[in-house]
Structure 1
Amino acid sequence: MRYILGLLIVLAVCIGSCSVIDKKKSIPNIIIINVDDLGWKDLGFMGSQYYETPNIDYLAGQGMVFTNGYASASNCAPSRACLMTGQWTPRHGIYTVSPSTRGKSEDRKLVPVKNTHTLDKKHKILPAVLQENGYVTCHAGKWHLSDNPMEYGFDLNIGGGHNGLPKSYYPPYKNVTIEKGSAEYLTDLIMEKALQFVDTVQKPFYLNYSPYAVHVPIMPVDSLLGKYRSKTPWNGQGDPEYATMVENLDRNIGLLLSKLKERNLFHNTLIVFTSDNGGLYGITKQKPLRAGKGSYYEGGIRVPFFFVLMDQIDPSSKTDVPITNLDIFPTVLDYVGIKDSSLQLDGNSLKPLLEKNVGHMVRPLYWHFPIYLEAYKVEDNENRDPLFRTRPGSVIRKGDWKLHYYFEDNGIELYSLSEDIGETTDLVKRYPEKTNELLGLLQTWWTETDAPIPTTFNPEYTNKN
């Protein structure tokens, strides 16, 4: 009953905003697909020979793929806050999930910066801007930034809350509030409700489709298990239970595409597809990328990323220009035609790239993580040390060069990604001028963003190795 009431409210909003919509018939609908923990190579179109994703592969072929697409953080909550605000982490203060004191205290040399758990309402986020300009807005799936996304500009909320993962993908879901439907598996049920929204809403609309999948708990779709158990593992990918979750996600995205085409909406819908961070190392690997979720090596932040808008973005196009999910907000506003001088956005509109009016975009990209995140597989990881996926630090990428800086020991690592995508060979000593150049840019960025840097020694620290 509550869900039906929500749909009625959405319809009322549509009717109430029709004067705005009638004046802007050509503006596109917006769908952002932000998958949870999906790795850079966890899809067929990105090269996986183990996971089967025909619907996502088809969709990627209708637009432009960014092979150097990044999340703006290596774990869930900060990446999502960056996407929604269009701002770097120092501006909103969300750096991780739960406390910033992750891992054993005796292993942490510094007292980390305090983490923010709930996105401050002072930030005007993407759905609120679209809502103000006549869009009907719906969130479906994982939210993770507050108790209720409807307080931040969404007209309808399907299953979103402060929780970062479901306790179960099968009912009862326990910590996910969502009304019953014909589907039981949570990924299926969320899409069922999202399709009801798409089927009833009047244009224009914004759907933030953010399934809990493929985040843990790894709970397989039983009907698909046999197929993957008989498949040969490939390049660090071979978990059949996880593979069923990937394929089931793909099936649901296929249902969304079918609904858009059924309603003749596909040609006028800007679709953005990405993941909130890299794949979960130990469950899936992204060779040749190093490490995985939680790390600021490429495997933790490089993600699948593409844009689709028929007749404006060429199908089967591809670029190696580096981008992050900070660029989604300004790109959407550019396509919609919204100009809001009150917004402080740290990304850039990708429209000139997407429509091939320019071929390059040279700018530094930054990541800031002034906290600790413990490792979950000490015996098998590719991080700087086996105890932590990352220690407090910052990262800058400019062009093909990437520099890591660590606050505990002022350690620096420099890599040339064009020659060493796996970040295996530290070039600090070989290229001191490039090191100083990137370090100088990073230090200036710290000042401009008022980035908090941990400096207080932890008196409980005992690990001197």
Structure 2
Amino acid sequence: MKSLLLVFLAGFICSCSQKENAPIQPNIVLINIDDMGWKDVGFMGSEYYETPNLDALAQQGMVFTNGYASAANCAPSRACLMTGQWTTRHGIYTVASSERGNPKHRKLIPTKNTTTLANEHTVFPQILQQNGYTTCHAGKWHLSDNPLDFGFDKNIGGGHNGHPSSYYPPYKNVKIETGKSEHLTDLVMEQTVAFVDSVSGPFFLYYSPYAVHTPIQPITALLGKYENKSATHGQYNPAYATMVENLDRNIGLLLSKLKEKDHFKHTLIVFTSDNGGLYGITQQKPLRAGKGSYYEGGIREPFFFIWKDRIQPNTKNDVPITNLDLFPTLLEAAGIDYQEQSLDGTNVLPILYGSEGQLERELYWHFPIYLQAYDVDNNENRDPLFRTRPGSVIRDGDWKLHYYFEDQGMELYNLKEDIGEQRNLVLEYPEKAEELLEQLKLWWESTDAPIPSTLNPDYEE
């Protein structure tokens, strides 16, 4: 009897010890800003926009200088982020129709666009929810009518709409409960803070405000400060600057609440944007072009991770990463083994922990459709009529190749030497261009990428 009691006590002590030593699932906060460019924040070098909360937060973790969105505009980037898969897997290439711009300027019939994420695709919030996480979506969703159908327990203002009709009431196309705040960015954060205040156990917060997408509607109290500031590196839009600062102020409120509830030290925080800043409103010098373009200004983003006592603070990393990497990385951080769906991103926790230095892989973008210019008189696109004509892009190391389906044109850049993509090296390095083109062709085949080839009868040369 005595020996049985000892065995029982030993087992009980062992069980308690295992529970005490078991890894605690972190809270996860993913901040995905709308249309914020690579250099629209202080920690990436802006001297015009003021983002003190984000600048201080970035210093507490690892900033990636080569962070990318997987697409150059909203809906496809968000579909890639949520599914961990390239656009060729889910078929969302743009917002609304793929037949953008004047028909007489489109040489090819573009690939038909998908506007709603199919239920057959698993998104990572569903997996977190199935593994004990309370999940909240706050702000812009854009992939279906209701994010509650895709693994979220709570929805704050998310629907199929890509931007608000107005940031001031009535918001019209944004369905959200009223509160003390009137400005939409403030109201979304008011309810987000209430969620953090009430939740217990591990939680996932997808904070995806509509800001700083159009319409550009200023915070009146802040306008005078920016009207009196000098333009720097092409950045001078006082109204937009007030939206950036107000967004930063709201993120500060979220951070304060996380600390008040003693969540901050147990929370992995990721910050990025869904695509580049809208050229004509903001610029990302020395990067070329902006939202909708597959030059660096359209796809390179501010990107950082912080996780107290896990990620070394005050670090910068030039390894190219993409928002496709968030699906496997966040699940790994949560201790969830997931192998049911083929993922195109990579778990970057070893990079974040400092145990690995590089990722041996290529990055791909595929855009078999048209997207008209935002401003035909002020842009840095390949031609003034379109931000993007049908094509694909590959980045391999420092080399980046643009390939266009209309004319089989190619542009080759070495980003280490020419981050602004000003000097096309195709004629100087034809073998490198052909090597990258062959890699693109293999990728098209492996992903069953649609290649537009049918001539448009309405086209006029």
Cα distance in structure 2, aligned partners of 1:218 and 1:159: 19
Cα distance in structure 1, aligned partners of 2:112 and 2:20: 47
State the match for 1:202 in structure 2: 200
Q: CA deviation at 1:324?
A: 0.5
1:443 paired with 2:423, answer no
State the match for 1:17 in structure 2: none
| Among candidates 358, 369, 372, match of residue 371 of structure 1 | 369
What letter corresponds to residue 191 of structure 1 in structure 2?
M
What letter corresponds to residue 245 of structure 1 in structure 2?
M
Cα distance in structure 2, aligned partners of 1:23 and 1:215: 45
State the match for 1:62 in structure 2: 60
State the match for 2:71 in structure 1: 73
What letter corresponds to residue 29 of structure 2 in structure 1?
I
State the match for 2:151 in structure 1: 153
Cα distance in structure 2, aligned partners of 1:254 and 1:423: 35
Per-residue CA deviation, residues 360-381 of structure 1 (Å, 9 max, x unaligned), is 1121000000000000211111
Tell me: CA distance 1:116–1:24, structure 2 relative to 1, closer, same or farther (3 Å). farther
What letter corresponds to residue 60 of structure 1 in structure 2?
A
| Among candidates 167, 173, 181, match of residue 171 of structure 2 | 173
| Among candidates 318, 331, 334, match of residue 333 of structure 1 | 331
| Among candidates 239, 242, 246, match of residue 240 of structure 2 | 242
Per-residue CA deviation, residues 415-438 of structure 1 (Å, 9 max, x unaligned), is 000000000000011111211111
Per-residue CA deviation, residues 227-264 of structure 1 (Å, 9 max, x unaligned), is 11111111111100000000000000000000000011
Q: CA deviation at 1:25?
A: 6.2
Q: CA deviation at 1:23?
A: 10
Corresponding residue SS for 2:126:
helix
Structure 1 residue ranges without an equivalent (≥5): 1-20
**Equivalence map 1:394-413=2 (5 Å):** 394-413=392-411
Q: CA deviation at 1:203?
A: 1.9
**Equivalence map 1:250-329=2 (5 Å):** 250-329=248-327
1:140 paired with 2:131, answer no
Kindly name which structure, 1 or 2, has the bigger radius of gyration based on alpha carbons. Answer: 2
| Among candidates 411, 416, 429, match of residue 431 of structure 1 | 429
Q: CA deviation at 1:26?
A: 1.0
Structure 2 residue ranges without an equivalent (≥5): 1-18
Cα distance in structure 1, aligned partners of 2:88 and 2:21: 38
Tell me: CA distance 1:190–1:431, structure 2 relative to 1, closer, same or farther (3 Å). same
Cα distance in structure 2, aligned partners of 1:191 and 1:451: 39
Per-residue CA deviation, residues 282-317 of structure 1 (Å, 9 max, x unaligned), is 000000000000000000000100001010000011
State the match for 1:219 in structure 2: 217
Corresponding residue SS for 2:301:
coil
Corresponding residue SS for 1:219:
coil
Cα distance in structure 1, aligned partners of 2:30 and 2:20: 23
Corresponding residue SS for 1:209:
strand
Per-residue CA deviation, residues 337-382 of structure 1 (Å, 9 max, x unaligned), is 1112212110001100000001111210000000000002111110
Corresponding residue SS for 1:225:
helix
Cα distance in structure 2, aligned partners of 1:25 and 1:140: 28
Q: CA deviation at 1:395?
A: 0.2
Cα distance in structure 2, aligned partners of 1:405 and 1:264: 50
Cα distance in structure 1, aligned partners of 2:59 and 2:142: 30
State the match for 1:32 in structure 2: 30
What letter corresponds to residue 219 of structure 1 in structure 2?
Q
| Among candidates 372, 389, 392, match of residue 390 of structure 2 | 392
Per-residue CA deviation, residues 173-192 of structure 1 (Å, 9 max, x unaligned), is 00000011001000000000
State the match for 2:416 in structure 1: 418
Corresponding residue SS for 1:180:
coil
What letter corresponds to residue 356 of structure 2 in structure 1?
V
Cα distance in structure 2, aligned partners of 1:346 and 1:245: 34
Identity %: 69
Cα distance in structure 2, aligned partners of 1:183 and 1:263: 22
What letter corresponds to residue 224 of structure 1 in structure 2?
L
Q: CA deviation at 1:24?
A: 6.2
With structure 1 as the length reference, what TM-score do the two structures score?
0.94
Q: CA deviation at 1:276?
A: 0.2
With structure 2 as the length reference, what TM-score do the two structures score?
0.95
State the match for 2:346 in structure 1: 348
Q: CA deviation at 1:387?
A: 0.3
Cα distance in structure 2, aligned partners of 1:372 and 1:24: 51
What letter corresponds to residue 386 of structure 1 in structure 2?
P
Corresponding residue SS for 2:332:
helix
